[in-house]
Amino acid sequence: MILVALGSNLPHPRLGPPRAVCEAALRRLAELGVTLRRRSRWYASAPVPVSDQPWFVNGVAEVSVPEGATPADLLALLHRVEAEFGRHRQARNEARVLDLDLVDFDGRVSTVGEQPELPHPRLSGRGFVILPLQELAPDWRHPATGESIGALADALPSDQRQAEPLE
């Protein structure tokens, strides 16, 4: 199972509000050979860490990639799409038109220093990933720790349980 987290909290001048940006990102990935197998509902989520920026629209998608594509290939493609949509990485946790994160790539666990780091190193404390992922794949387990998605959801800090489905 290959999992990609999507998020946006800024509108795009041509595509519109954050939800439309996320939907357009899935279409663009499909144009580039990434097949959408299924996705969670979209969720409204507070920014992390808490700030005065707009709330995010977040979701998680299960995708497939062309045979032979590596995690590094997919991550490079995700960064390419972010850039095409106008994302310029300047500061961590800044407001952004599009955020695409590689969460899991067929259960791989990276060795120390290997890139990309899999599973995503900060997914466990992020309600905006955990809650949509729990909806999408209720039997998923963290590849490195073996924790169930339910246990990860139960362990979320109270300020990370704010993600609410939009649809």
According to DSSP, the residues that pair with 62 across neighbouring strands are 3, 38
**pLDDT tens by residue, 39-49:** 999 999 888 77
User: In the prediction, which pLDDT does 162 show?
Assistant: 65
The pLDDT of 3-10, averaged and rounded, is 96
Report the SS3 class of residue 156: coil
- Report the DSSP pairing between strands 56-64 and 43-45: antiparallel
pLDDT at 95 over 80: no
The pLDDT of 9-38, averaged and rounded, is 96
Least Cα distance to 164 among 136, 122, 127 occurs for: 127
Q: By CB neighbour count within 10 A (0-12 exposed, 13-18 middle, 19+ buried), where does 94 fall? A: middle
Report the SS3 class of residue 155: coil
Least Cα distance to 131 among 2, 38, 21, 44 occurs for: 44
pLDDT over 90 percentage in the chain: 71
pLDDT band at 91 (very low <50, low <70, confident <90, very high): low
DSSP for 86-145 reads T----STT---S-EEEEEEETT--PPTT-SS-SS-TT-TT-HHHHHHHHHH-TT-B-TTT
User: In the prediction, which pLDDT does 112 show?
Assistant: 85
Number of H helices, E strands in the chain: 4, 6
Query: Which one of 87-96, 106-115, 158-167 scores highest in mean pLDDT?
Result: 106-115
pTM over 0.75: yes
**pLDDT tens by residue, 96-145:** 899 999 999 999 999 888 889 999 888 888 889 999 999 999 999 999 99
The pLDDT of 80-101, averaged and rounded, is 84
Domains of the chain: 2-165 (3.30.70.560)
User: In the prediction, which pLDDT does 46 show?
Assistant: 84
Question: For residue 74, what are the contacts with CB-CB under 8 A and spacing of at least 6?
Answer: 2, 4, 34, 65, 102, 105
pLDDT band at 163 (very low <50, low <70, confident <90, very high): low
User: In the prediction, which pLDDT does 131 show?
Assistant: 93
